[in-house]
Amino acid sequence: MYAIYQFLSGYFIKTSSDKVLDQFTSKSSRQRANDLKETLIGRISERIRDVHAEVDSKPFFTAILNYKVTPEAYFYYLFNMYHIYKTREQALERVRSNSIPINQVCFSEIYRTFELERDMNYFAKILGIDINSIKPFKSTDNYITYLNKLEKETPIKLIGSYYIESYGNLAGGITIAQRIRKTLNPDPVGMSFYNYPELKNLTINWKGKEVTRPTPGQFKNYFQDLINVLLLSEDEENNIIDASYEAFKMIGEVIEELSPY
Ligand code: HEM
């Protein structure tokens, strides 16, 4: 049996549910898909299916998929995401020391505030936009207010919002990045959001083996497995499922507000 370690703040920390996690990660892809149905991730997946399809078909994403996105639309996407990610990541860092499950899924290696800031500044410069002269969308403000409320009242729900967007970036982000690259042809410095160089600092358990320098694809499955083996009450699980849905809905509203661009 292999032990699983997270490399956090310079220390290797052993996770609490190594045996259960080994059972997940050593399964074949087909077994894995089947097994996930009965898990927390499976329940989240069920709950967000319709809203995912709804958000994907909004004009901003169809423009991306059809190689028609404008630099303005992409800039405003980055700008609004920056404010959302920054709020959530700062909240996670404040609450993680008081919550074992939150601490177990927080990886600064997949945080995106810094990357979003870099990309946003790159596009702002190209477009001649003064970032200090513009404000986040109303839908972004609503999402930020929601995240601040979660931090105060039900921090466990932050896992839902964090999972939805982190997994979304690690999964669908690959397609989105390819399209953006082809359509807008930015310098690599303007495409940091979809790059995860810091994953090379991690060692994860992948199909029963210790893997150093995981790829985003390996990491995203590991991330799901890790969430599935968290020791949570039924109430906590339900809270995370609700928050996943609420986060997707709110992201959908931000995407909707991008339509005029
Ligand atoms: C055009 C836009 C998008 C595309 C093309 C896309 C594509 C995909 C694909 C191909 C998958 C399955 C891949 C896998 O699980 O490895 C997936 C799953 C997922 N995506 Fe997206 N996605 C988009 C937008 C989003 C957005 C905006 C979010 C979140 C804010 C998101 C969150 C997720 C999540 C949470 C899953 C896992 C779903 C599940 O477990 O059933 N996606 N996406």
Residues with CB under 6 A from ligand 1: 45, 52, 55-56, 61, 65, 164-165, 167-168, 171-172, 175-176, 248, 251
- What residue type is assigned to position 82 of the chain? Y
Pocket test for ligand 1, best of 44, 48, 52 (most atoms within 8 A of CB): 52
Report which protein residue has its CA nearest ligand 1's atom 34: 168
pLDDT band at 225 (very low <50, low <70, confident <90, very high): very high
Site to probe by mutation for ligand 1, drawn from 167, 215, 218, 220 as the one with most ligand atoms within 8 Å of Cβ, is 167
CA 205 to mean position of chain CA atoms: 20
Q: Whose CA is nearest to atom 4 of ligand 1?
A: 172
CB count, 10 Å around CB of 76?
Answer: 25
Average pLDDT over every residue of 16-28: 56
pTM comes to 0.89
Tokens found for residue 41? 């991730």
pLDDT in tens, 28-60: 666 766 767 789 999 999 999 999 999 999 999
Q: What is the mean pLDDT of residues 109-117?
A: 97
Is the confidence at residue 257, as pLDDT, over 80? yes
User: Beta strands 11-14 and 203-206: pairing type?
Assistant: unpaired
Block residue for tokens 């160089």: 197
Closest C-alpha to ligand 1, atom 20 = 168
Residue 248 alpha carbon to ligand 1 centre in Å: 10
> Over the stretch 150-182, which tens digit does the pLDDT of each residue have?
999 999 999 999 999 999 999 988 899 999 999
Residue ranges per domain, the chain? 5-257
User: Which residue CA neighbors atom 41 of ligand 1 most closely?
Assistant: 45
**Domain spanning 5-257: CATH 1.20.910.10:** yes
Q: Which residues contact 143 (CB under 8 A, 6 or more apart)?
A: 84, 87, 247, 250, 251, 253, 254
- Using DSSP, state whether 205 is helix, strand or coil: strand
Nearest protein CA to atom 14 of ligand 1, as residue: 171
Q: Which atom of ligand 1 is nearest to the CA of 36?
A: 40
Question: Is 23's pLDDT higher than 80?
Answer: no
